[in-house]
């Protein structure tokens, strides 16, 4: 049955346990080995063993040095070597490390203090006893040592999060936490406006409120996982949040929808008040080239179509916003404004009468004339002047003026002389 002794070295001849000094006296070891070696400072408590049998020439112990990188979830190391009085080149065997009954590492034994890797992936943070066992060899007996170690919580490898989206009131921002190693079991978000945390905004995205206008936004991503240090990473700031217009009353069109009439854009109600407004008139949804004023006189091409106006508001640090008005009624044909013509000349046979058409609005593109004597149209009398024939004696002369233009209703006006022809 093995015995565990708190000694620095043991040797045996046959089955008799003797000290190193006695062995030297018997000539089994060099004189230099007669004085037991002293363990270096910091060596762990030794549990050397002997089963009082066999022909192994020398026992050994483990000299444990510094430890490093003892972090949960990672691989650390502990320096350890085999110490022996035996004059052998290689101790043989392995050194095995155990924590809480779980093997955490092993390596080939050596007489030099080399690190043994220690796998801490399943070891929780805290104080632990590290059991180091030397398996022994054909030359050396097994031995073991106990070292008290402290395993600290694991640490995340995490990058700075990134915000995607447009920094504008009403827009949605999304936080990309990027890659965390290992992956957190819980990830939370805290959105900040000029450094102030927005209450309740703990999701990976949020819609920018009006209160953030003119301010900068950032997000802090926090990762948590059992046995790991809770870690937070903050993003860069966005640019200053721009605003959006709120339209409580849409633009509209004022005026009569007919060719030649002038329509006026009513801008509606905007919050905040725009610094400037731009207009674009449309026919059946298509922009009309050059129609960019607040008022627009309907051209002949508008007949039979519906009119809308697009109003665009502009203000510093606000997104330009365009709102279309409701459509007008179908544009009807235009109406001429025209006075009755007048007739000049002497009312007598052989005299030449002339017609003065007066001012038409708009001016007709085509104007025709027809002279009559009494109620009878005179064939060929279709010019702006008329030589009174003898058949007109004692009768009145009438001139009929007809004006027309594209998109307008044809207009007919006339004038009859006051006196009969002499």
pLDDT tens digits for range 207-247: 999 889 999 999 999 999 999 999 999 999 999 999 989 99
Q: Kindly report whether the global pTM for this prediction surpasses the value 0.85.
A: no
pLDDT at residue 86, rounded to an integer:
80
The mean-pLDDT minimum among 51-60, 277-286, 398-407 falls in 51-60
Name the architecture of domain 157-234.
Sandwich (2.60)
Coil/strand/helix, residue 23: helix
Q: For the chain, how long is the longest CA-to-CA vector?
A: 178
Q: Per residue in 320-335, pLDDT tens?
A: 999 999 999 999 999 9
**pLDDT-based confidence at residue 55 (cuts at 50, 70, 90):** low
Is-same-fold flag (246-334; 336-416)? yes
Report the first-to-last Cα separation within the chain, whole angstroms.
165
Tell me the β-bridge partners of 254.
264
Q: Is a pLDDT exceeding 90 seen at residue 29?
A: no
pLDDT at residue 210, rounded to an integer:
86
Question: What is the rounded distance in angstroms from the CA atom of residue 299 to the CA atom of residue 261?
Answer: 8
**pLDDT-based confidence at residue 268 (cuts at 50, 70, 90):** very high
Q: Which of 334, 352, 330, 331 is nearest to 343 (CA)?
A: 352
pLDDT at residue 345, rounded to an integer:
95
C-alpha angle 342/343/347, rounded to 5°? Answer: 150
C-alpha angle 251/254/260, rounded to 5°? Answer: 130
Span 55-59, average pLDDT: 57
The fraction of the chain above a pLDDT of 90, given in percent, is: 80
Q: Per residue in 289-323, pLDDT tens?
A: 999 999 999 999 999 999 999 999 999 888 899 99
Q: Is a pLDDT exceeding 80 seen at residue 9?
A: no
pLDDT at residue 57, rounded to an integer:
52
pLDDT at residue 59, rounded to an integer:
60
Higher pLDDT, 52 or 222: 222
What does the block give as tokens for 36?
């037991």
Q: Is a pLDDT exceeding 50 seen at residue 39?
A: no
- Which burial class, exposed, middle or buried, applies to 389 when counting CB atoms under 10 A from its CB (0-12, 13-18, 19+)? middle
pLDDT at residue 3, rounded to an integer:
26
Which CATH topology does 3-151 take? Immunoglobulin-like (2.60.40)
Question: What is the rounded distance in angstroms from the CA atom of residue 325 to the CA atom of residue 257?
Answer: 14
Question: What is the rounded distance in angstroms from the CA atom of residue 298 to the CA atom of residue 300?
Answer: 7
Handedness of CA 66, 69, 70, 75 (dihedral sign): negative
Q: Is a pLDDT exceeding 50 seen at residue 113?
A: yes
Cβ–Cβ < 8 Å for 320, 342: no
Top CATH class of 336-416 equals mainly beta
The mean-pLDDT minimum among 26-30, 46-50, 83-87, 174-178 falls in 26-30
**pLDDT-based confidence at residue 366 (cuts at 50, 70, 90):** very high
Coil/strand/helix, residue 300: helix
Span 192-214, average pLDDT: 93
Distances (CA, A) of 91 to 19, 107, 142, 405: 21, 13, 10, 118
| H helix or E strand, kind and range, residue 21 | helix 20-25
Which strands, in side-by-side order, build the sheet including 94-99?
3-5, 45-50, 143-151, 126-134, 94-99, 102-108
pLDDT at residue 58, rounded to an integer:
63
In whole numbers, what is the pLDDT of the chain averaged over residues?
A: 86
Query: How many C-beta atoms surround the C-beta of residue 87 within 10 A?
Result: 11
For the chain, the domains span 3-151, 157-234, 246-334, 336-416
| Strand residues in 141-245 grouped as ranges (E) | 143-151, 157-158, 162-164, 172-176, 180-181, 186-193, 196-197, 205-207, 217-224, 231-234
* CATH 2.60.40.2700 is right for the domain spanning 246-334: yes
């Amino acid at each position: 049955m093995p015995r565990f002794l708190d000694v620095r070295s043991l040797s045996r001849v046959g089955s008799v346990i003797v000290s190193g000094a006695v062995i030297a006296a018997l000539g089994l070891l060099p004189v230099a080995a007669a004085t037991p070696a002293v363990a270096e400072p910091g060596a762990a408590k030794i549990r050397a063993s002997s089963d009082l049998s066999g022909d192994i020439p020398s026992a050994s112990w483990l000299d444990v040095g510094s430890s490093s990188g003892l972090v949960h979830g990672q691989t650390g190391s502990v320096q350890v070597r085999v110490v022996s009085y035996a004059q052998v080149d290689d101790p043989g065997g392995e050194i095995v490390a155990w924590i809480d009954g779980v093997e955490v590492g092993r390596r080939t034994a050596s007489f030099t203090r080399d690190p043994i890797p220690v796998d801490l992936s399943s070891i929780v943070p805290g104080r632990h006893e590290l059991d180091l066992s030397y398996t022994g060899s054909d030359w050396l007996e097994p031995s073991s040592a106990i070292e008290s170690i402290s395993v600290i919580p694991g640490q995340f490898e995490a990058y700075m999060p990134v915000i995607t989206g447009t920094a504008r009131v009403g827009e949605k921002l999304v936080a990309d936490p990027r890659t965390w190693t290992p992956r957190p079991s819980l990830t939370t978000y805290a959105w900040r406006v000029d450094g102030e945390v927005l209450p309740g905004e703990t999701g990976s995205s949020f819609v920018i409120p009006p209160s953030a206008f003119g301010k900068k936004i950032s997000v802090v991503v926090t990762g948590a996982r059992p046995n790991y240090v809770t870690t937070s990473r903050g993003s860069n700031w966005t640019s200053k949040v721009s605003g959006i217009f709120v339209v409580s009353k849409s633009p509209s069109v004022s005026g009569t929808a007919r060719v030649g009439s002038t329509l006026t854009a009513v801008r509606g109600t905007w919050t905040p008040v725009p610094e400037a407004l731009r207009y674009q008139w449309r026919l059946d949804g298509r922009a009309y080239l050059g129609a960019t004023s607040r008022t627009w006189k309907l051209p002949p091409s508008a007949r039979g179509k519906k009119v809308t106006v697009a109003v665009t508001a502009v203000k510093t640090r606000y997104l330009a916003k365009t709102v279309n008005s409701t459509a007008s009624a179908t544009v009807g044909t235009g109406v001429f404004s025209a006075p009755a013509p007048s007739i000049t000349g002497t009312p007598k046979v052989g005299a030449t009468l002339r017609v003065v058409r007066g001012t038409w609005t708009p001016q007709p593109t085509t104007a025709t004339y027809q002279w009559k004597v009494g109620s009878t149209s005179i064939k060929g009398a279709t010019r702006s002047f008329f030589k009174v024939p003898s058949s007109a004696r004692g009768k009145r002369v009438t001139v009929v003026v007809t004006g027309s233009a594209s998109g307008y209703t044809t207009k007919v006006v006339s004038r009859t002389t006051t006196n009969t022809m002499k």
